[in-house]
Structure 1
Amino acid sequence: MERLAYIAWGSLVWDPRALPLGSPWSSDGPRVCVEFARKSENGRLTLVLAGDAQPSTGFWALCPQDAMAQAIEALALREGIPPSARARRIGQWRPGQEDPPHMSDLSPWAARHGITGAVWTDLRPNFDDGQTPGIDRVLHYLRGLTGEKRALAEEYIRKAPRQVRTRYRPDIEAEFGWTPLAPS
């Protein structure tokens, strides 16, 4: 039987919704290179994989499914990713494969935990050029939000796990006072 894990760093941790979990989230996941660099339709600025981001320790939970395809399907449903985009937007890994560039210690981490496969949301920055925006662009974007979009952006940033310390987080906290809401 497989021992599959979900890997997370953002809203999956505090809002898994209907994502079935085989264990509570653990805070000793692999190192992930993430940054607040993706604008969502509702205004949130979300944590996504970014090649030039500083690594933070991610979270992980066991998948109750015993097949990779089922774990991918469950995560895609939670994230609202259509079948046509799943191959691009749901990352997957098994022992023997090269570690993803945004999780350079996945293999040794998985070996320590007896993990035989992992899945994660594989979204990237989506500012105009598809690259990680600079902090000035991020702050400019957040300053321009109003009403519900601003409230949702603040909620996401403040609920982001405290241990996910990105390069931009201190500047966002200093500018807006959006410090983490609860320890994690």
Structure 2
Amino acid sequence: MKIACLGWGSLIWKYGPLPVDGEWKPDGPALPVEFCRVSDGGELATALCMNAPAVPVLWAWLSVTTLSQACEALRKREAIPEARCDGIGSLLITGRNCGFLSSWAAERGIDALIWTGLPPRSAAMEGRVPTVDEAIAYLDSLTGETRDHARDYLNRVPAQISTPYRKVITDVLGL
């Protein structure tokens, strides 16, 4: 089974235990991604956000043979507790057209896809999308190493993840 992972944030440069096989490719599908998750590390991380405009994400092959191995490796990389049943998305490509994502994958010979499915998080509430003003206020409130980490994260996310929040954050805060 040929399995690939979709990525749009730190997974691309810091994939840890995820068995990425080769380089991340920039011609991924367009997905609704935004800087909308206050992460455990303090940065305003990218996450799927259903009301965000779609941007082309990246993808990479994984050196695993089963979808469950791939999901488990991504769960470990993302430090998602075993008891949590959300957080990892997956799609088994069955050969029939089930929408744009399965068509995109089939064109590349991908049998299954995985991705990080952690929701937006703001004001310590899972699922809450911060407004752009809240995102700016949050980032502006950071100091020291946490601010440096947040700046580094924003700068390392590939330029093709060009979202409305990123543009405003860069213009207003100069991060």
TM tier, shorter chain?
Answer: over 0.9
Q: Gapped runs of 5+ residues in structure 2?
A: none
Residue 116 of structure 2 corresponds to residue 118 of structure 1: no
SS in 2 for 1:88: coil
Give the aligned partner of residue 147 of structure 2. Answer: 150
| d(CA) in 1 for partners of 2:61, 2:41 | 29
Cα shift readout 1:9-34 (whole Å, capped 9, x = no counterpart): 11111111232112211111111111
**Is this contact kept in 1: 2:97–2:103, CA < 8 A?**
no
Task: Report the Cα offset of residue 98 of structure 1.
Answer: 8.7
Q: Gapped runs of 5+ residues in structure 1?
A: 179-184
Count of aligned positions? 172
Normalised by the length of structure 1, the TM-score is 0.88
**Is this contact kept in 1: 2:3–2:112, CA < 8 A?**
yes
Looking at secondary structure, tell me which structure has more strand per residue: 2
Cα shift readout 1:35-74 (whole Å, capped 9, x = no counterpart): 1111112211100010111111011111110100000111
**Is this contact kept in 2: 1:68–1:117, CA < 8 A?**
yes
Give the aligned partner of residue 93 of structure 2. Answer: 95
Give the aligned partner of residue 47 of structure 1. Answer: 46
**Is this contact kept in 1: 2:33–2:55, CA < 8 A?**
yes
Match of 2:101 among 89, 102, 106: 106
What's the C-alpha RMSD, in Å, of the aligned pairs? 1.6
1:1-184 pair list within 5 angstroms: 2-85=1-84, 87-96=85-94, 105-128=100-123, 130-178=127-175
